[in-house]
């Protein structure tokens, strides 16, 4: 049984050291950690709303508990204590607050730079199925990333005296042989980018070696491998990707016999007895059924499957380049970032830019977003003859589409849609806006209560998840194509803030008979809260945007944002000390 853990740091990593035994190009010991905020099938858990509320520029200032005010409150509540006792109790309170964060969610967000965390992969399969080979090939394919490899076998629980006396009858393939709480804690810590210590299991004494725990630093990619990794829900739910290595039973038995006799000096009869008594029954009871929990099943009979490894490595690189929102919500589409888009955003976000430049570069971004959104419409194959007499097999555009702009800022996107789709019908929806985006301050400005224990986070129900649709802002005006129920609809709004106005418009479209999967919400900038709202309430609707901003301010402005888009675009914003528009352009 393998119990090593490995880590590799790329040469360009700031933690790379040629003298370190744990950060070399050769495998060396490492460890695991982390907790995923979202469950395995991509649906957000209950405390996602809390994360989205706090994961914003203003929220970042509120995440950490105010140590000064806490000290004052503590002093007031302990008048009978001496100054020395009071100071000791205050220090204990501060040290027990997990780095002075309001909750584990806040600590996780801060530890990962606000929107990214390591990518955790669970690899399972029967004994001698090729799990280690798959893990090593994945590591070799991600040489530019720091990869930490952990083995389930490192976390065997020490046997009791009675169990040692009958060790031949002890079932090491049963889930009870593993200390799962320690695995979960280690993975959660690694996902928080904390250093962890991984135990070293002694298979001779069947206990953990004292004083030789391996210190492991976090990495970009964490791999946990073992026969029962996908059978245990607590570990499975942490994984961003779940892989099952599928190998024929006879081949696995032959590999195990070869390994145990040559590498571990065991007798053939003993290997077969252990396989038939423990290994095979546990495989059928726990390992094989866990295959249905896998995202990817790799056939590994031949010992090589380079196509699968290449696809997995490519997927991991893609996910590492995405924010957590994109990992969770497959219906969120963000334009591929490049310097042109970033440069145009820099211009339109500048408070001193002239209106003419704001309009010019906003139109450019809008055109890119609209073109990208049109790529998600259906098409059909179409064959034509070119002027040279040759046949060209192409596609024809889907004709039953229309646009709907949300008055007023959404009208800024109409010209781009007309330029892309000749003669397209465009409807309009006017939503009554209060408090910047649709709802009263008493509903929008709720703050999640401080949560000190991580177990309590899932118990915090968000009212947003059970939002009464009657509380959505009113639709004051609508003019839509008469046959809109037969069309795909591009709903246009350049700025997605809280998402409530957009939800009111989407509900209007659905009431007119438009299928949810036929709606494409198109925006220039979206906040994390708005994305969460729409993706949660309308999972079959595509959301296309050019950038996702950190969040909302207390008055529900998108941050860092672009200000009032409609006023800046149509030139109706008043100059004041807070916002300067119309100064000479620098560009």
Q: Give the model confidence (pLDDT) of 359-370 as tens digits.
A: 999 999 999 999
Please list, in sequence order, all residues whose beta carbon lies within 8 angstroms of the beta carbon of residue 93, skipping any fewer than 6 positions away.
Answer: 70, 74
- Reply yes or no on whether the pLDDT at 225 is more than 70: yes
CB 439 within 8 A of CB 556: no
Beta strands, E only, 78-128: 119-125
The residue-averaged pLDDT of 441-454 equals 38
Beta strands, E only, 180-314: 196-198, 201-202, 207-208, 214-216, 221-225, 241-246, 296-299
Give the separation between CA 134 and CA 203, rounded to whole angstroms.
24
Mean pLDDT of the chain: 76
Location of each CATH 3.40.50.300 domain in the chain:
6-34+118-320
Location of each CATH 3.40.50.2020 domain in the chain:
329-443+465-570
Give the separation between CA 31 and CA 219, rounded to whole angstroms.
10
At residue 207, the pLDDT reads: 86
> For the segment 10-52, what is each residue's pLDDT rounded down to a tens digit?
433 433 333 333 333 333 333 333 333 333 344 333 333 333 3
- Reply yes or no on whether the pLDDT at 105 is more than 50: no
At residue 269, the pLDDT reads: 82
Q: Cα–chain-centroid distance for residue 36?
A: 8
Give the separation between CA 564 and CA 555, rounded to whole angstroms.
13
Residue 24 backbone class (left: φ over 0; alpha: ψ -120 to 50; beta: rest): beta
Strands 542-545 and 519-522: parallel
Confidence of residue 528 (pLDDT cuts 50, 70, 90): confident
* Axis crossing angle, helix 500-511 with helix 528-537, rounded to the nearest 10: 30
At residue 322, the pLDDT reads: 65
C-alpha dihedral (437, 373, 419, 366), degrees to nearest 10: 50
CB 499 within 8 A of CB 533: yes
CATH 3.40.50.300 is held by the domain 6-34+118-320 = yes
- Reply yes or no on whether the pLDDT at 405 is more than 60: yes
User: How many angstroms separate the Cα of 66 from the Cα of each of 52, 69, 101?
Assistant: 21, 6, 9
The fold of the 329-443+465-570 domain, in CATH, is Rossmann fold (3.40.50)
- Reply yes or no on whether the pLDDT at 444 is more than 70: no
- Reply yes or no on whether the pLDDT at 432 is more than 50: yes
Give the separation between CA 158 and CA 327, rounded to whole angstroms.
38
Give the separation between CA 557 and CA 66, rounded to whole angstroms.
24
Give the separation between CA 426 and CA 409, rounded to whole angstroms.
14
C-alpha dihedral (571, 577, 580, 586), degrees to nearest 10: 170
Give the separation between CA 339 and CA 543, rounded to whole angstroms.
22
> For the segment 175-213, what is each residue's pLDDT rounded down to a tens digit?
999 999 999 999 999 988 889 999 998 877 888 888 888
At residue 319, the pLDDT reads: 75
CB 110 within 8 A of CB 228: no
CB 223 within 8 A of CB 150: yes
CB 244 within 8 A of CB 290: yes
Judging by beta carbons within 10 Å of its beta carbon (0-12, 13-18, 19+), is residue 239 exposed, middle or buried? buried
Give the separation between CA 193 and CA 174, rounded to whole angstroms.
30
At residue 204, the pLDDT reads: 78
The residue-averaged pLDDT of 116-123 equals 86
């Amino acid at each position: 049984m393998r119990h090593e853990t490995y880590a590799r740091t790329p040469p360009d990593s700031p933690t790379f050291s040629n003298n370190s035994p744990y950060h070399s190009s050769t495998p060396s010991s490492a460890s695991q950690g982390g907790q995923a905020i979202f469950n395995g099938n991509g649906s957000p858990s209950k405390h996602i709303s809390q994360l989205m509320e706090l994961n914003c520029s203003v929220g970042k200032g509120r995440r950490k508990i105010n140590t000064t005010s806490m000290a004052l409150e503590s002093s007031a509540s302990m008048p009978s204590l001496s100054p020395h006792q009071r100071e000791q109790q205050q220090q204990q309170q501060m040290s027990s607050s997990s780095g002075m964060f309001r909750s584990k969610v806040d600590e996780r967000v801060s530890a990962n730079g606000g929107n990214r965390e390591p990518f955790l992969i669970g690899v399972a399969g029967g004994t001698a199925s090729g799990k280690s080979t798959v893990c090593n090939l994945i590591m070799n394919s991600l040489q530019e990333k720091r990869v930490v490899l952990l083995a389930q076998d490192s976390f065997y629980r020490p046997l009791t005296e009675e169990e040692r006396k009958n060790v031949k009858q002890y079932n090491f393939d049963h889930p009870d042989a593993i200390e799962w709480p320690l695995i979960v804690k280690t993975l959660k810590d690694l996902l928080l980018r904390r250093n962890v210590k991984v135990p070293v299991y002694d298979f001779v004494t069947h206990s953990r070696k004292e004083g030789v725990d391996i210190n492991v630093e976090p990495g970009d990619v964490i791999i946990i491998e073992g026969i029962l990794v996908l059978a245990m829900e607590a570990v499975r739910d942490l994984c961003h990707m779940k892989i099952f290595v599928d190998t024929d039973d006879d081949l696995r038995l032959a590999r195990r016999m070869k390994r145990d006799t040559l590498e571990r000096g065991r007798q053939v009869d003993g290997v077969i007895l252990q396989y038939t008594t423990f290994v095979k029954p546990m495989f059928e009871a726990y390992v094989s059924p866990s295959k249905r929990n896998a995202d990817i099943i790799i056939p590994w009979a031949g010992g090589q499957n380079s196509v699968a490894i290449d696809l997995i490595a490519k997927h991991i690189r893609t996910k590492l380049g995405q924010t957590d929102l994109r990992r969770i919500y497959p219906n969120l589409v963000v334009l591929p970032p490049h310097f042109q888009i970033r440069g145009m955003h820099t211009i339109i976000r500048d408070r001193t830019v002239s209106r003419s430049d704001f309009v010019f570069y906003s139109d450019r971004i809008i055109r890119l977003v609209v073109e990208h959104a049109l790529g998600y419409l259906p098409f059909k194959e179409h064959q034509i003859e070119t002027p040279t007499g040759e046949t060209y097999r192409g596609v024809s555009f889907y004709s039953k589409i229309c646009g709907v702009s949300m008055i007023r800022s959404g009208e800024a996107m109409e010209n781009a849609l007309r330029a892309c789709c000749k003669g397209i019908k465009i409807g309009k929806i006017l939503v009554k806006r209060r408090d910047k985006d649709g709802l009263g301050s008493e509903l929008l400005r709720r703050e999640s209560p401080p949560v000190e224990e991580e177990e309590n986070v899932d118990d915090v129900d968000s009212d947003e998840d059970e939002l009464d649709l009657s509380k959505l802002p009113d639709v004051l005006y609508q003019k839509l194509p008469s046959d809109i129920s037969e069309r795909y609809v591009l709903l246009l709004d350049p700025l997605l803030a809280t998402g409530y106005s957009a939800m009111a418009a989407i509900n209007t479209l659905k009431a007119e008979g438009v299928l949810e999967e036929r709606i494409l919400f198109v925006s220039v900038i979206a906040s994390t809260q708005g994305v969460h709202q729409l993706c949660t309430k309308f999972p079959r609707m595509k959301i296309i945007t050019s950038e996702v901003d950190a969040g909302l301010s207390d008055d529900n402005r998108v941050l860092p944002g672009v200000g009032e888009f409609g006023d800046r675009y149509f030139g109706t914003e008043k100059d004041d000390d807070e916002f300067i528009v119309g100064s000479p352009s620098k560009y």
